[in-house]
Amino acid sequence: MLDNRKESGDEGANWFVRFRRFLTEARAELSRVTWPTRREVWATTVVVILVSTLFGVYLYGVDLLLNILLNAIWSRFQG
Q: Give yes or no: residues 40 and 75 share one domain.
A: yes
Q: Give yes or no: residues 41 and 54 share one domain.
A: yes
Q: Give yes or no: residues 29 and 4 share one domain.
A: yes
Beta carbons within 10 angstroms of residue 52's beta carbon: 10
Q: Is the dihedral of CA 66, 72, 76, 79 positive or negative?
A: positive
Q: Give yes or no: residues 22 and 51 share one domain.
A: no
What's the CA gap between 10 and 3, in Å, rounded? Answer: 13
Mean pLDDT along residues 50-72: 97
The reported pLDDT for the residue numbered 5 is: 54
* DSSP classification of residue 36: P
For residue 15, the enclosing domain spans 1-33
Report pLDDT digits (tens) over 1-58: 555 555 555 566 798 899 999 999 999 999 999 999 999 999 999 999 999 999 999 9
Q: Is the pLDDT of residue 63 over 70?
A: yes
Q: Give yes or no: residues 12 and 50 share one domain.
A: no
The reported pLDDT for the residue numbered 69 is: 96
Q: Give yes or no: residues 45 and 10 share one domain.
A: no
Q: Give yes or no: residues 21 and 57 share one domain.
A: no
The reported pLDDT for the residue numbered 7 is: 53
